[in-house]
Amino acid sequence: MLRFLLFRLALLIPTFVGVSIVAFAFIRLLPGDPIMMLAGERGISAERYAELQAAYGFDRPIIVQYLDYLWGLLHGDLGTSVVTRRPVLDEFFTLFPATLELSLCAITLAVFLGVPLGVIAAVKRGSWVDQSIMGTALVGYSMPIFWWGLLLIILFSGILGWTPVSGRISLLYFFPPVTGFMLIDSLLSGQDGAFRSALSHLVLPSIVLATIPLAVIARQTRSAMLEVLGEDYVRTARSKGLPPARVIGLHALRNALIPVITTIGLQIGVLMAGAILTETIFSWPGIGKWMVDSVFKRDYAVVQGGLLLIAGIIMLVNLIVDVLYGLVNPRIRH
Amino acid sequence: MALLEIENLTVEFDTSGGTLRAVDGVSLSVEAGEVLAIVGESGSGKSVSMLAVMGLLPWTATVKADRMTFQGRDILNLSPSDRRRIVGKDISMIFQEPVASLNPCFTVGFQIEETLKTHTDLDRKARRQRAVELFHSVGLPDPERRLGSFPHQMSGGQCQRVMIAIALACGPKLLIADEPTTALDVTIQKQILDLLLDLQAKTGMGLILITHDMAVVAETADRVIVQYMGRQMEEADVLTLFESPKHAYTKALLSALPENATGDRLPTVADFDLENTPSTGGA
């Protein structure tokens, strides 16, 4: 187990180097640079432009800039935002709880709805129940996130007026962040209606972000269950006179979960990609929106740092999933 | 009163190609303490008729019978929950592939204690105690330690012993063994058969042995039923069957034993001309 963990951790190093190169190169391939973007439509004089280029070090050869960046990384310095002049890491940790809260809600929704729906579809294979669950899942999977988000906003916020359109909480409430999770902080603040407001802001973005993972998990659970339900040990469980809930919910599901857990792990990457769109649609102040904004502003340090941190999170989650996989499947315990 | 009585059992499957009749008019009865062998080649409906007794057939199957009773009680029209009270307790079954028949995600101890938990009032400590006894009685060495093993850590023979222990956990009146030795090595086959017969003699339960192996039949059974294409061909006690088989198919089966080989080719049932041999006896 220790060897396995060390090996996996060692693998992170080349991955990080790769991500840093890609992040560094790609943002520089876009036309324009941070100084142009800051100057805006009024433009900037050639002398002033050269002065600022030199001040930020953008005039040096690209390889020197990269090595300098790498040197900073090794010292835990992700650079400073050209726009806000705050360290990238500080900004990240201010905004990350918002994304984490949204992602946790979305993945919880996706797992706790997707797995049972997949099980029901498998048990009722071929029936109208199965077909409607799988049909809906296919539609959900195929739906572009931004469009689906807008449809929900039009229906629930626009026509029905049930939920707010954007943000994390009504502007009427103000309290200092304690955990960074709005649901918890609003409860801690003790203000009347704060929790309700935070929750109503969270509902639509969570549904939008959960849709694709939910569809994938439901489909994967169904096919894994169908395979497992035909296994000999399921027949054995039934021959022992166990109630169907136990045969399906314990003996079959436990085995079906093995591939499903891998799928859930892979969905974390999808979730991060989805967060960028979802946060932009709902003006959710998380790292997705932060990244999109900084791409538009060519805020090099933020895009590079943000990509590295997101990649780090995805790799960490996948590592956790691999460890969990061993716990669930006794045959491959390391 | 017979332990298990079946009259005119028919099992049909709905398939995309129409209805398939897997079992066609099978009748049998087993007494307590008796070993009944059901023989026939693959696809002859041996397993299906016993799965029908256990209620383990998929939903595409339709089971019909004039009579199907266990200890005088109708088990054809039982509600699922009533059936679960009998299955695993009074009637239990072991299968062909012992390793695949155990759940890979749980320890064998969990799997045997689960049966005890379902059908008895024993508390956790008593269940563990009983599991150790059962493992001991099926000849598993070091039973306490074995309870914590996963199926993939055991051999096929050991897994079949675990399956037998699970089947015997609640003291069944009838044990159905569906090709229990087919997937095992020849040396292990003999051990498992001996174990089954020994346990059967000790407990006085009825034993139905499904097999296609005539040698197994000769060694173990009191009575034999020969099945072919879902139909019952012949029923006789074991000595009669081997000495004077009445039905042409039985003769074919017996003549297909490896010891009747001539030259370097093994005889098969197909060598025997079933169509032109007048059939006598049978159902």
Residue B1 in this model has a pLDDT that exceeds 90: no
CATH of B1-75+208-283, one of 3.30.1330.80, 3.40.50.300, 3.90.1150.110, 3.30.70.270: 3.40.50.300
Q: Which residue has the higher pLDDT, B13 or B280?
A: B13
Together in a domain, A161 and A274: yes
Of A239-253, A319-333, B78-92, least confident by mean pLDDT is: A319-333
Cα separations in angstroms, A293 against A177, A200, A205, A308: 23, 25, 19, 17
Angle of helix A253-281 relative to helix A145-152, nearest 10 degrees? 70
Residue B14's DSSP bridge partners are B19
Mean pLDDT of B142-153: 93
Spell out which residues of chain B touch residue A329, defining contact as CB-CB under 8 Å: 104-105
Contact assessment for residue B37 and residue B211, using Cβ atoms and an 8 Å cutoff: yes
- Mean pLDDT for A109-125 is 95
Domain that residue A279 falls in? 89-332
CA B118 to mean position of chain CA atoms:
22
Q: Is the pLDDT of residue B24 over 70?
A: yes
Helix (H) or strand (E) holding B123: none
Sequence-ordered list of residues with C-beta below 8 angstroms from that of B124, at least 6 positions apart, any chain: none
Tokens of A23: 């992040």
How far is C-alpha A179 from the chain's CA centre? 19
pLDDT tens across A212-242, in order? 999 999 999 999 999 999 999 999 999 999 9
Q: Do B92 and A243 touch (CB under 8 A)?
A: no
Among residues B266, B241, B244, the alpha carbon closest in space to that of B256 is found at: B266
Interface test with B, best of A123, A231, A233, A333 (most B CBs within 10 A): A233
pLDDT of residue A130: 95
Task: Write the CB contacts of B248 (distance below 8 Å, at least 6 apart in sequence).
Answer: B272, B274, B277, B278, B279
User: In terms of domains, do A125 and A102 share one?
Assistant: yes
- Chain A positions touching B182 (Cβ under 8 A) are none
Question: Do A237 and A290 share a domain, yes or no?
Answer: yes
Whether residue A11 is found in the same domain as residue A65: yes
* Chain B residues inside the 8 Å CB shell of A229: none
**What ipTM was assigned to the predicted interfaces of this complex?**
0.88
- Looking at the complex, report in whole angstroms how far the Cα of residue B229 sits from the nearest Cα belonging to chain A: 24
Contacts of A110 (CB under 8 A, 6+ apart): A210, A213, A214, A217, A267
Residue A82 lies in a domain: no
Do the chains contact at B152 and A235, CB–CB below 8 Å?
A: no
Q: Would the pLDDT of B279 be above 60?
A: no
Q: Is the pLDDT of residue B62 over 80?
A: yes
A34 and A139 housed in the same domain: no
Q: Are strands B206-211 and B174-178 parallel, antiparallel or unpaired?
A: parallel
Provide the sign of the torsion angle of the four alpha carbons B244, B250, B255, B257, taken in this order: negative
Domain boundaries defined on chain B: 1-75+208-283
Stretch among A157-161, A179-183, B33-37 having the lowest mean pLDDT? A179-183
Q: Are A198 and A284 in contact (CB under 8 A)?
A: no
Contact between A102 and A209 under an 8 Å Cβ cutoff? The reply is yes
Residue B281 has pLDDT above 80, yes or no: no
Query: According to the model, what pLDDT value does residue B272 have?
Result: 63
Q: Is the pLDDT of residue A152 over 70?
A: yes
The total of other beta-carbon atoms located within 10 Å of residue A36's CB is: 14
Q: Is A331 in contact with B88 (Cβ distance < 8 A)? A: no
B248 pLDDT more than 80: no
At B14, which helix (H) or strand (E)? Answer: strand B4-15
Q: Residue A30: its pLDDT value, please?
A: 84
- According to DSSP, the residues that pair with A282 across neighbouring strands are none
- Contact between A194 and A161 (Cβ < 8 Å): no
Contact A233 B100 (CB under 8 A): yes
Domain count, chain A: 2
For B105-127, the pLDDT digits (tens) are 999 999 999 999 999 999 999 99
Q: Is the pLDDT of residue B148 over 50?
A: yes
Mean of the pLDDT values across residues A266-288? 88
pLDDT band, very low/low/confident/very high, at B273 (cuts 50, 70, 90):
low
Q: What is the mean pLDDT of residues A82-103?
A: 90
A235 touches chain B (CB under 8 A): yes
B34 is written with which tokens? 């008796």
Distance CA A189, CA A186 (A): 5
Q: What is the mean pLDDT of chain B?
A: 87
Residues A94 and A202 in one domain: yes
Q: Is there a contact between A208 and A105 (Cβ–Cβ < 8 Å)?
A: no
Report pLDDT for A122: 95
- For residue A57, give the DSSP letter: T
- The values of phi and psi at residue B13, to 5°, are -115, 135
User: Is pLDDT of B257 > 80?
Assistant: no
Residue at B43: amino acid letter: G
Q: How many CB atoms lie within 10 A of CB B133?
A: 13
Query: Model confidence at B283, in pLDDT bands (50, 70, 90)?
Result: very low
Stretch A304-323: mean pLDDT: 87
A44 plus A112 within the same structural domain? no
Find the distance separating the first CA and the last CA of chain A, reported in whole Å.
5
Select from B99, B105, B154 the residue whose CB has the most chain A CBs within 10 Å, as the one to mutate to test that interface.
Answer: B105
What pLDDT is stored for residue A220 in this prediction? 95
DSSP state of B152: G
- The residue among A74, A104, A120 that closes a domain is A74
The answer to whether residue A317 neighbours chain B at the CB level (below 8 Å) is: no
- We report the CATH number of the domain holding residue A169 as 1.10.3720.10
Q: pLDDT tier at A151 (50, 70, 90 boundaries)?
A: very high
Angle A126-A235-A124 (CA atoms, 0-180°, nearest 5)?
15
Tell me how far apart the alpha carbons of residues A191 and A171 are, in angstroms, rounded to a whole number: 13
Residue B40 has which token pair?
């026939």
pLDDT in tens, B170-220: 999 999 999 998 888 888 888 899 999 999 999 999 999 998 888 888 888
The reported pLDDT for the residue numbered B8 is: 92
So what's the pLDDT on residue B91?
95
Same-domain pairing of A113 and A251? yes
Taking each helix axis from N to C terminus, what angle separates A194-229 and A88-123, rounded to the nearest 10 degrees?
50
Q: Which residues, 6 or more positions from B194, have their beta carbon under 8 angstroms from its beta carbon?
A: none
Q: Tell me the percentage of chain B whose pLDDT exceeds 70.
A: 95
Q: Is A179 helix (H, G, I), strand (E, B) or coil?
A: coil
The 3-state DSSP class for residue B230 equals: coil
Among B84, B95, B103, the residue with its CB nearest the CB of A243 is B84
- Which residue is closest to A239 within chain B, CA to CA? B88
